[in-house]
Amino acid sequence: MEEMLRDNRVVLYGEDVSDYGGAFKLSKNMLEAFGRDRVFNTPISEACICGTAVGMAMTGYRPIAELMYMDFALMASDQISNQAAKWHYMTGASTKVPIVVRCSVGGGKGYGGQHSQSLESMFAHIPGTYVAYPSNPYDAKGLIKTAIRDDNPVVFVEGQLLYNVKGVVPKEEYLIPFGQANIIREGKDITFVVWGPAVADAMKAADELEKDGISVEIIDPRTLVPFDWETVFASVRKTGRCVAISQCVDIGSFTGEIVSQITAACFDQLDAPVLKVGAKNGIAPQAYTLEAAFLPSVKDMTDAAKKLI
């Protein structure tokens, strides 16, 4: 709302975002505040939502396109990855595409295989697209404001498990720069690099490991693109050990890129191999008990850490 008050070029639209207030009520009261010219519904077509966002952005607007689930971003992959991400470069930098694609991840809520995928790694692979993934309310505000003001397309990932999390959010304006990681917890024995809802479990794992005398440093990158490699490298050079953690399925996850980069940059300072922890390589189950086994758990994180000590 602050950014829409600040800049009348900012518009918000998607499925049921106006009268209903969005599937998760995140746009509640926005219609009353800004009217139907700036807050409006769309057909059930992610390709349409993101395609029109590209066109609006190229003509001077700053659209925020809301997709109900990140799974459905696949329906708009051409608009995001081939259009929004590339037009600035294909026009010799004469065109900007400042869109924000907000999409939620339903993992951990029993929504099943078509509403639970963490696909941030896929979009991180596309040059020209920024990827932000807050883990708490404070970061969510600071990052979304930065995303709206940035001239590049941003895929803004929101873990639904975080929608009901409460935290201190200052009323005054603040922005969190992209590419600036947050050292959530300092430690000396091992580094956890983790983002999104998995951060909460990583904190619990660190508490458990502390009981065994293992000190964990936790780094939340906040954005996968751009990524704050130097903060991560500095931590790993100090601790000599690292576990990269996310809710993405393990194969093809951005955690693998983290393992690769750390191994190349910090090889001489490593005391053990760099490990990664993620969701199991399969389709997200709908049953809560099965989904709990599918997603990375506190035990998965503590077990990985203990392998390195």
The residues assigned a catalytic role are: 115
Residue 97 CA to its chain's centroid (Å): 20
* Sign of the four-CA dihedral 72, 78, 79, 81: positive
Residue 240 CA to its chain's centroid (Å): 26
Q: C-alpha angle 203/143/182, rounded to 5°?
A: 35
SS3 (DSSP) at 198: helix
- φ, ψ for residue 247 (rounded to 5)? -90, 5
**Tokens standing for residue 230:** 């130097």
What is the torsion angle, in degrees rounded to the nearest 10, for the CA atoms of residue 40, residue 45, residue 47 and residue 48? -40
Closest by Cα among 22, 182, 7 to 103: 22
Would you say 131 and 179 are in contact if contact means Cβ atoms under 8 Å apart? no
DSSP assignment letter at 272: S
Residues 6 or more apart whose CB falls under 8 angstroms from that of 7 comprise 62, 148
Q: Where does residue 248 rank: exposed (0-12), middle (13-18), buried (19+ CB within 10 A)?
A: buried
